[in-house]
Every structure is written in structure tokens, then in C-alpha cells.
Structure 1
Amino acid sequence: MQAFSNQRGLSLIELMIGILLGSLLLLGVLQIFQSNNDTYRMQDGFSRVQESGRFAIDLLSKEIRLADYWGCTPDQDSIENRLDTTDAFLTSIGSDGIQGIDNASSQTIGSTNVLDGSDVLILGGVVNACSGSGRMLDPSGSDLIVSSNCPVEAGDIVLVSTCINGDIFTITDIDGDIGDGDRTLEHEDGAIDSDWVQNLSDTLQETYGADSAIFLPYQKTYFIAENTAGTNSLFVSDENNSVEELVPGIEDMQVSYGRDTTGSGIVDTWQSASSDADEMSEVIAVKLELLVASDSDASVNSQTISRLDGSETEYTDGRIRKLYVATVKVRNRGDM
């Protein structure tokens, strides 16, 4: 008689129950993982939005506060522009430190296309041409003399000023090398070098000495455009149309300008950018409105953003968005 061995292993029913319990456990683990992943993406997206928004606001606020600085000169009427040019930037030196373009349309800066419907902010002023201890010195006759460590070069366009007058011109020659004794600047009129902006006149309003300062003019244009990743960023262009991406994730920029129309030092009206130079010369404050978005899907089902003009837009692409608003005083205009 053959003996039967005891049953070993699992029965079919036990195996099916085990598979079911394992599947339920795995499903729970996957749900926890998905939830944690969604939370991480949302937190990461929000962190990037905060980083980009705060940095962009801080950067633009600083530039606005410093804009329209033309040295110690009392007003733009005290500055004489000696340059033989019709270039918009060069003719605006000493006066138009706050400009803008409202609702850009088919606008190109350098070779970069500005986002249609966004605003463009244009800021100008001057910076010290003699860094560190470099400075103007008392002249010998009518010459302009700077210290040996003042790194200006022939061909540079400069503003030389006191607290009474200022003159803008091209340096046509320099006697003396950097670090090797005092340097004498020349500013002849007429054709000197075809690559330079020529001077209409070599006459200056006064003899500038140690009570004077020498500056280099600048212009910075801030705008929104698409970057290489296919999302929008804040870009800046200098006076030579050299474009650089500054802050990713800035999806839109709207700018309002506060005008002091009565000379009281207080904003009387807010408006968009104007082509009227007289209106823009009354601007004493700038209001920024930046829409910042995460660079990828942050697991947001939908989000509605309310703008300052009362409009609302619903976004359903999963990206986090936040509106950053700041009002900035132009320190070089109006009362502090």
C-alpha cells in the first residue's frame, strides 16, 4: 500500500488572497509616493516662484531708485550735450532717465522678440567713471585732468559736471597712461575717428577742476521674452543692445508711472508709459506688477490670478503662479 505525503505550499485560494493583499499594500505605497511627489513638486515650484519673484522685484526696485541720476547738476537744463548724433540714447543723456513702452507689439530689442502685451521699462543715468580714489583734479589752463587711476579711455562718452553745470562729450585723446601720473583729457570737435561719436563743439560751460566729477552714462532696458527653454524670463539690454537673461519664470510685466503734475512731490496720477517726454519727466514713482510662474508642472489643478486692473485669468497647465507688486520711489526726482 502506497503512503501519501503531507500537503506542502499554498493552495490556490491562499495564493489568490496573498496576491490581493500584496496588491492592496502596493497600491497604498504608490498612493503615498504619488502624494509625496505631488507635495514635493508643489513646494519646489512655490520656492522657485518666490526666489524669482523676490529677486526680480529687488533688482528692479534698486535700479528704479538709482535712475535719472546725472551727478550734482541741479536740473537737465544745466547740462549741455556736445555730441554730434541723433541716437536716441545719446540725445537722452542728462534728461530722460525714466522711459517705457506700454503693451509692446512686435517689438524687438537686439535680436530678441519682446512678449506681446507686456510692458518695457527703460532706465538711464550715470555712474562714476573714476572708481575707487580716482577723481578730477585742478586743471592747468583749460585742460581736463583726472588722477592716474581713473580708467577712462579715448572714445568714451562722458558727463563732466559740478553742482552748477554739466557737459556731455566724447574724449578724443588722453595724455598719460593709467597708473602713470595724472592724465589730461582732450575733447576736440570735428572728425577724429570714424568709430566714435564726434563732438559738435569743443567749448565747455566752465573749467572743470577738483570740485567736478566725471561720469559714464548708461541705459538699461528691462523686458519679458521667451528663453531657450520655451518659458518667459526677465531680460535686460544695455545701451549697445547687448541682451542678457536675468530671471527665469517672469511670465509678464506691467508697469505704471506715478506723475507729480503740480510740483508738490506727491503722485497726482498713475498712468501707462507715454511717448510724451514732458509727461515722463514728471514721473516720481514706478509701480511694478510681475506675474511669476514655476518652470514646470507643480501639480496645481487650476489657479485664478487677479490683476491690478481687475482682470482675472484662470490657468490649468499645472504650474504655480504668483503676482508680485511693488511701488518704488525715484530718489532723484521729487521730495524724498
Structure 2
Amino acid sequence: MRVIKRIKGFSLVELMIAMVLGLVLLGGVIGLFLSNQNTARATADMSNLQNSVRLTFQLLSQDIRSAGFAGCNNAPRVVSVIEVGGVTPAWANWVGGIQGFAADAQGNESIRLMYGSGVSNSVNTHAPPVFTLSAAPNLGAGDIAMICDDSLSSIFQVSAVGATTLSHATAGTLNCSADLGIDFPFVCANPRGRFFSADAMIMRFESVRWFIAPSTRNNAINALFRESIVAGQVVAEEVLAGIASLSFAYQQDGQAFGPVPFNAAINMGNVVAVNVTVVLDQDAFTSIELSEEQRTIEFLAAVRNRL
């Protein structure tokens, strides 16, 4: 007689228990995956923020280090022949190359930095309003330029360029006169011929302002802007969004070390270093938890041309 053995399957209760255990295990795996994903995203966001901050302050440091460079070792004697509506605009009004400003209504300060930059051209001859250069000009029509010799530096707008020439005529430019400033201080209404001798240098003139304003991408948060002059026009570029505050302190030559906050009594012509303090806005970085130390960025940059 054959004995038939019945093969038993899993009961419903066993299947339910197995499913529950499987779901618990799967939930743990998914939770670990999401946690790792969030950690990786936060790490990437922090890395991107750190890179953006580093590049931003490298640019700001470079502007501070370059401030006051007028070429030819005659920084005290700098004039501007640029006028808008009969008045020299703030961006062309040389005040030693550094101008600090008091805090605005939101408590944020700003700074303007001016200097000659780029590859210079050497002058062969000067028959106003035309310079003949030793090589092709590195500037274009409309650019703001600075020329210097051993007695004076002048800020002007380029009216035209040729193969080896560069002009500073008044027509179609912001130049109030073809005179480049034999008098110091310069008075545009009283022009006198000023000839720059051979070996005078012409370079690009930079006038940049760093300030805080609502971000162009999200006006609910503030951003750090760098304002520069392009072909005689003021152009503001957003550099870093998510800024809570910006402030500067100034170290003066001959004083014990200790940069002081801005005040109207500071002689900007005597500033040899600028301390910058920026505080990041936590609300602008929702995926990153920033400590107080991480939010506050501070550095000191020396004004190389005054050391």
C-alpha cells in the first residue's frame, strides 16, 4: 500500500509575516539610500558654495590689492577729463583709488576701487587728440583708459583706434576736453594743451564697486554685486547670492595693527589694507546647515601699491 505524503505550503499568517519583514527590510534600505543621497547632495551643495565663495573673494582681493595703481609711480597726481552732465561721475572721480562708504539703511557697507590694469601700450608721439603707439592698441573705441608719465596720470575715454594709433577726441565721448590735464587739479572749463612725451604708458582704467542689493534671481534674498565700467556704461554683475551683511574695516599706514570700521574721518589715501567681513544668509541655503563660523567669512587684503 502506497503512502502519499502531503507537501505543505506556507500558511497565510506566515506569508504575511514574511511580507512585513520584507517591507521593514526594504524600508530600511530605502531610508539608508535616501539618507546617503541627502548627505551627498548637501556635501555637493557645500562644496559648490565653498568654491563660489573662494572665487568671489579671490576677485575682491585682487581688486583691493590693485587699488590705487596709476602707473609711472605718480599716484598722487591723477585727473579725470570725463564728465556727465557737466559733472565728473563717481566712478571716474579718483580719490586715491579707494573709497569706502558708510552703511546703507540695511546696515551694509560698500567700497569702490580704482586702478590701471591690463597690458599697457607705450606712446611714441602725441599730437592731441591722437597718440601714436609703439604697437597695436590693447583698447577699443569707447573703453575708459588711463595714461601716465612721470608727472601725471589722466583718465579719459578712447574715441577711436587705428593700427598703431589711439585718440581722445571729445566728439561722441564722455571727454569734456581734448586737454588731458596739464593743471592739477583739473578744471575742464579752463583747458590747456597737455602733451604726453614718448614712453608714456596707456592702460585700461578699472573702477569697480562692491555692494549688496536684492538678487536678480530671487529678490527675497540679497546678493553681492561687482559694478564695473564697460565702454563708459555702469554694469553691475551679481557675483554671490545669499548674503546677510557686508562690512569693511581699514588699516592705515603708520598706525598700530587693527583695522577700524568706516568713519568719515578716515583718510582713504592712507589706507594700506582692507579687512572684509561677509555673513552668509542661512535662509538662502536650505539644503545646507551652516554654523555661525561657517556663515561668517573674514579676510584681510593688502593694498600692494601703498606698501
TM-score, normalised via structure 2 length: 0.76
Matched, 1:79 2:63: no
Residue 41 of structure 1 contacts residue 297 of structure 1 at CA under 8 Å; is this kept in 2?
no
- Distance of 1:157 and 1:227 partners within structure 2: 27
Distance 1:37 1:13, change over 3 A: same
Matched, 1:197 2:194: no
28-37 or 59-68: bigger deviation: 28-37
> Which of residues 154, 165, 168 in structure 2 aligns to 1:183?
165
Matched, 1:331 2:304: yes
Q: Which deviations, in whole Å up to 9, do the C-alpha atoms of 1:63-105 show, x marking residues without a partner?
A: 11111111114232x3344455423426523x34112333322
Residue 113 of structure 2 contacts residue 209 of structure 2 at CA under 8 Å; is this kept in 1?
yes
Alignment partner, residue 118 of structure 1: 108
Alignment partner, residue 272 of structure 1: 261
- Distance of 1:13 and 1:91 partners within structure 2: 85
Distance 1:329 1:36, change over 3 A: same
**Structure 1 residue 280, shift from structure 2 partner:** 1.6
Alignment partner, residue 18 of structure 1: 18
Structure 2: which amino acid aligns with 1:32? L
- Distance of 2:173 and 2:247 partners within structure 1: 37
- Distance of 2:127 and 2:288 partners within structure 1: 71
Distance 1:47 1:156, change over 3 A: closer
- Distance of 1:269 and 1:104 partners within structure 2: 24
Alignment partner, residue 245 of structure 2: 252
**Structure 1 residue 268, shift from structure 2 partner:** 4.9
Matched, 1:214 2:202: yes
**Structure 1 residue 123, shift from structure 2 partner:** 1.0
Q: Which deviations, in whole Å up to 9, do the C-alpha atoms of 1:232-274 show, x marking residues without a partner?
A: 43221124331212234444332211122xxx3x555522234
- Distance of 2:274 and 2:234 partners within structure 1: 23
Distance 1:89 1:217, change over 3 A: farther
Q: Which deviations, in whole Å up to 9, do the C-alpha atoms of 1:168-225 show, x marking residues without a partner?
A: 45566x6xx622xx437465xxxx53753312254245x3222211234221111233
Residue 52 of structure 1 contacts residue 249 of structure 1 at CA under 8 Å; is this kept in 2?
no
- Distance of 1:169 and 1:217 partners within structure 2: 9
SS in 2 for 1:281: helix
SS in 1 for 2:259: strand
SS in 2 for 1:103: coil
- Distance of 1:296 and 1:150 partners within structure 2: 45
Residue 82 of structure 2 contacts residue 88 of structure 2 at CA under 8 Å; is this kept in 1?
no
Structure 2: which amino acid aligns with 1:52? S
- Distance of 1:232 and 1:186 partners within structure 2: 39
Residue 75 of structure 2 contacts residue 96 of structure 2 at CA under 8 Å; is this kept in 1?
no
- Distance of 1:195 and 1:164 partners within structure 2: 25
Residue 126 of structure 2 contacts residue 197 of structure 2 at CA under 8 Å; is this kept in 1?
yes
Distance 1:31 1:149, change over 3 A: same
Alignment partner, residue 28 of structure 1: 28
SS in 1 for 2:208: strand
Structure 2: which amino acid aligns with 1:332? N
Structure 1: runs of 5+ lacking an equivalent: 106-115, 307-320
SS in 1 for 2:10: coil
Q: Give the total of aligned pairs.
A: 285
Distance 1:79 1:38, change over 3 A: closer
The sequence identity of aligned pairs, in percent, is 23
- Distance of 2:6 and 2:146 partners within structure 1: 104
**Structure 1 residue 61, shift from structure 2 partner:** 0.9
Root mean square deviation, CA, Å:
3.4
Residue 73 of structure 1 contacts residue 165 of structure 1 at CA under 8 Å; is this kept in 2?
no
Distance 1:184 1:118, change over 3 A: closer
Matched, 1:283 2:271: yes
Distance 1:258 1:88, change over 3 A: farther
- Distance of 1:143 and 1:178 partners within structure 2: 10
- Distance of 1:171 and 1:272 partners within structure 2: 38
Structure 1: which amino acid aligns with 2:122? R
Residue 156 of structure 2 contacts residue 168 of structure 2 at CA under 8 Å; is this kept in 1?
no
SS in 2 for 1:37: helix
Distance 1:257 1:96, change over 3 A: same
Structure 1: which amino acid aligns with 2:32? I
Alignment partner, residue 298 of structure 1: 287
Alignment partner, residue 228 of structure 1: 217
